Structure 1
Amino acid sequence: MLFIACIQNLTVVTKAGYLSATDVEGFDENKDYVKINDKSFHAVSAKVIESQISKSLERLKTDKLDIFMINGPERMLMAKNRGYSSTQLYKDLGETFKYLDAQVANGTIGGYGLCSNTMALPSAVDHVSLSQVLDACSKPDNFVAVEAPFNIFEREVAVADGSKTVSDIAKENGIHLMTNRPLNAIANGQIRVLVNHALGGGDTEGSRSSERELMDKMSKSFDKVSTLESDMLSELPLQEDSLTAKFVWGQVLSENLSRLSQNHFAARHYLSQQVLPAVEKDIKILENYAAELEDDRVHAFDDWINEYRESVRVLADDIVGYAYIDTLRKNSELDRILNALSPTLSKQNGHGLYSPLSVKVLRLLLAHEQVGTVFTGMRDPIYVQDALKAAEESQTNPLGQDDIDEIWRCPIFV
C-alpha cells in the first residue's frame, strides 16, 4: 500500500495481485488465480480484485480509494497450475476493467491503473504492452496511472532510443506515470543499490578505518573456520574420506572470494540459500557419524559442530559486508561521474546527507518532465531525510536540460 503526499491533499493508492495461500482460499484455481509456486499465487480476475479492494478499504478505514493498481500482471504468464497466454491475460484484464469501471461509477475508487516490471521491455517474454492494455479497456478515461521501474540503469520507461516509450504513450493518453526502484537498479543482470554512505565515520579517514576493520574481521573469520576444519580432519579416520572431503568450506569460499565480492546481493543469496544449507547437511552427516561412536569423543564432536556452525555463519556475514564495500566503491565512482556530467549536481551540498548519490539520482528522475511520481523506500529516517533533500533541491536548484541530456547520453548507464 502506498501513500502519496500531494501538497495539502492526500492521495491514497493501493495495489493487488500478489497473493498468499490464505488469500486464495475459497477461489477457483482454474479460473480465478494462477499458482506461481507452493507459497505464491497471482490474480487479475475481478472476483479476487473485488475481495482485495474490500480488504484494503477495511484496513484503511475508508470508503474510497483514489487509485487502485493491478500489480505485476506479467506474473500470470508464470502459471504452474494451468496454461496461460498473453491473449488470455489481456482478455482477463478487460473483464476486470469493466468491474473497476463500475467501482469508479459508484465512487469506491477514483480511477485505476497497472504496475508492471516488464511494460517498458518489448523483448521480454513476459512483456505487458501498455497499448494492448489500453485496447482492452472499454472506458480508458478511468485508466489513470501506470507504474514501472526507472533509474539511471533501467531507463527504458522514459528515455527514448528512437522508439515510443511507455512515458510517451502515457502522455498521449493523459495517464499519470509513477516510477519505482529509483535506488535499486538492475545493472548487468545484478541488483545494485545506488547508495554511497560513509562507513564508520562521516569523513574519508573514518571510512577507510572502518573498511580496514571489516577486512581484518573477515580475515580472522577465515582463519577461524580453516582452523576448525583442520582440527576436524585430524580427528577423523583416514578411511572416512566422504566426511573429510566435506569440511573444506573455508577453502572453497576463499578461492571464490573475488567473485563473491563483485555483488553483495548475489553473495548474500548464494551464501544464505546454497552454502549455509549445504553446510547444515554436512553437519547432519557428521552428527550421525558421531552418534555411532562409543567413547567420549561424542561430546567433543558436539562442541566442534556448534562452534563451526556459528563460525561459518559469521564468515558468511563478513563476506557479504566485504562485498558491500565494493558496491560502495563503485557508487562513489558513479557519484564522481555524475558530478563531472552535471554542473548542477556537482554543486550539491552533501553535508548531513546519508547518501549524496541517492539524492542526485532522485533529483535526476524527478527532473524528467514526463514522470509524475517517484516512489522510494522510507523505512528509515535517514532515507526520508535524503528524499526530502532531493525534493527540495528539485524545487530550489532544478537540473537544466543540458544536465539531464548529458547524463542520459552517457554510455556507462546503458
Structure 2
Amino acid sequence: MTAATETAAGVSLTLPIDGELRDYQLGRPGPWRRPEAPITSRIAYAAAHVIPKVLADNTPDSAAELDWDATLAYRHQLWSYGLGVADAMDTAQRGMGLDWAATQELIRRSAREADAVGGRLACGAGTDHLTVADLAGGARGLAQITDAYRAQIDVVRSAGAQVVLMASRALAEVAGSPADYLRVYGALLAEADRPMILHWLGEMFDPALRGYWGDTDLDGATTTFRGLIEEHAGKIDGVKVSLLDAEHEVALRRALPDGVRLYTGDDFNYPALIIGDDAGHSDALLGIFAAIYPAASTALQELDTGNDRRAREILESTEALGRHIFAAPTRHYKTGIAFLSWLNGHQPGFAMVGGQASGRSVGHLSELFVLADRAGLLADPDLAAARMRSFLSVNGVGR
C-alpha cells in the first residue's frame, strides 16, 4: 500500500463532502525523510507564511503582531528538510496584512536563524511601504519607486539574505510604458553588488499587477522581460515566474541566457517543470512547498539519486492538493497554507494577520483536509482530526 491509501486505524471523522456529511477514514503520513546531505539536483525554496500572536488584533488594516517563536520554528522545519526559505514574499502576506515594520523584523530574524543553521535564505524587496497618497506621476513617481526599492533592498542586503526583486503595485500604477519598467529595474540591477532574483507575479495572484512589464499581452510583456534579463544577465541569479502557464515557462526557460535560472512559481504544474525534459528543468521557489515540504524534500532527494520516476510520482501525488490550495481566487492561497500548518500543529490557532483566515470557505478547507490526507501530509492524524472536528464545530457543521 502507498501512504495515500493505507489507513490509520481508528482515526475517522464526519466531513462535509459533496454537499453532505459523510464519515471519512484518515490515511497514514507518507514515508517522508529528511536529507542526510545537502540537496544538489535542484535549488528549491519554500515561500513561508507567518503566524500571528494568539491575542493579536488580526483585523484588516491593523499592524501585524507575529508569534516569533512559531514563525521562526516553521522556517527551521523547512531548513531541516534541506529546502531554502523564501521569506517576506507574497506567501508571508506582503500587501495582504504584513506591514513593512513587521516585514523588516521578519527579514532580520530569519536571517539570524538561517545563519545559525547554514540555511539558504532569500527575501523579498519591494515598494509596499509606499502609499497611493505618496506617489507622484511620471518621472518623479518612477524616482520615488526606485528609491523605495533601494530602501528595501538595503534591509535585505544588510541582513545577509539574497534579494528577490518583487513586483510592485506602485510601479504598475505609475508606469506608462515598457520603458518605464526597464528604467526602474535597470537602475536597480546596475547597482546590485550580487545577483538578484527577479519575480514576475501574475495578476491571478494580485489583480493590481495586471499589465506588468507595460503590456497586457503575454508575448509583449515577455519581450520586455527578456530584454531586461539579457541586458543585465550578470546581475541576475534567476527569475521566479508565477503565471500558472507551464508552456510559457518552458519556452522562457529555454531562452534564458546561460547562468540565469528559472525558479518555477507555478503551483499548478510544478511536478513536470521541476522534473524537466531533455532541454532542462526549472528550479523552484514555491508557496506550495511550504505546505508539502516533507514530500517535496523526499522527491528532490530521489532526484539526487537519479530516480526521476519516483520523484515524479511523489510530486504528482501532491498536485491535486496544490491545485486546490491555489484555486481561484488564487491570492487567497495563503489561507490554505496556514490551515494546513495549524492542522499539523505548527501554530496554536488557525489565525492570520489582516483577517485573512476568512479567505476560504468551510467546504474549501474540508476538501483541503481530504487532499492533504490522501497525499500523506497530515503528520499526526489524531491531532489533525481533533483540530478539524473543532473547526467544523465552531462553524456549525454537524449541529
* Class of the TM-score when normalised by the shorter of the 2 chains: 0.3 to 0.5
TM-score (norm 1): 0.34
Scaled by the length of structure 2, the TM-score of the pair is: 0.35
